[in-house]
């Protein structure tokens, strides 16, 4: 029986790569978007042209009413999600002394509260079915901390704490909760950096290159599989040895 995966923030970058890979492997894919409707529609067509099963769904994941409505729509079109990939997030570079209260709240609203809301909404059905996979996309900066990204690092560290604690609560319901902490990945988030900065970052990576979104998607596909049923509460760094 085909399983359904919901991927938040899936219109581009890591989320889009996850959507393509899961569809290729026979999953029914629910693509969530917020501001990138055109990219979500383009991805939908691309996947369907290759024979994949997917639909797109609008929601601001930091808004509980949006997420609840999205849940109803996903269930009606694709079935209740068996796998939830909390990928949606925002980032910003700024000195700690320049971060405003509003910027701090927005960062946590999307990166941390959004994960909480989605887990809270989709977990009960997993508990009823006694099976499920939750994969939260954190960041290497949530593990190590990043200069000039204190609010981003803190929000991603919160995702790690949430994942480790929740994993212990739901393990007996045959539900795993894990984190992926991507390193320097070639996505739109990296466009804020100069070529010189990217070159310096690559020099700190043992593999000698930036990661690709597919590298993270492959890790997510494994954690969603039956082969990963005894792995929970873990943080998998996909960082090329950063």
Active site residues: 152
What does the DSSP 8-state code read for residue 213?
H
**Residue whose C-alpha is closest to residue 238's, from 163, 156, 180, 161:** 180
Cβ contact 121:69 at 8 Å: no
Alpha helices in the chain (DSSP H): 13-24, 37-49, 64-78, 101-108, 114-129, 140-144, 150-170, 195-203, 213-224
If phi > 0 it is left, if psi is from -120 to 50 it is alpha, else beta; for residue 51 that is: left
Closest CA to 99 of 131, 146, 142: 146
């Amino acid at each position: 029986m085909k399983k359904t995966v919901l991927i938040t923030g899936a219109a581009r970058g890591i989320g889009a790569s996850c959507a393509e890979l899961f569809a290729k492997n026979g999953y029914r894919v629910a693509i969530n978007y917020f501001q990138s409707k055109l990219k979500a529609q383009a991805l939908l067509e691309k996947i369907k042209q290759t024979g994949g099963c997917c639909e797109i769904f609008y929601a601001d994941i930091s808004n509980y009413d949006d997420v609840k409505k999205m849940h109803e729509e996903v269930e009606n079109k694709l079935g209740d999600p068996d796998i939830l990939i909390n990928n949606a997030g925002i980032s910003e570079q700024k000195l700690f002394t320049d971060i405003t209260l509003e910027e701090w709240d927005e960062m946590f609203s999307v990166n941390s509260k959004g994960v909480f809301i989605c887990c809270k909404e989709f977990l009960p059905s997993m508990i009823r079915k006694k099976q499920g996979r939750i994969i939260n996309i954190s960041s290497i900066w949530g593990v190590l901390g990043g200069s000039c990204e204190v609010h981003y690092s803190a929000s991603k560290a919160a995702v790690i704490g949430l994942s480790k604690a929740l994993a212990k609560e739901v393990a007996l319901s045959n539900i795993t909760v894990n984190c992926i902490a991507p390193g320097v990945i070639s996505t739109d988030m990296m466009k804020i950096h100069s070529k010189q900065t990217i070159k310096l970052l690559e020099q700190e990576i043992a593999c000698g290159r930036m990661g690709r979104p597919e590298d993270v998607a492959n890790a997510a596909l494994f954690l969603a599989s039956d082969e990963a049923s005894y792995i929970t509460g873990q943080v998998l760094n996909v960082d090329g040895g950063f």
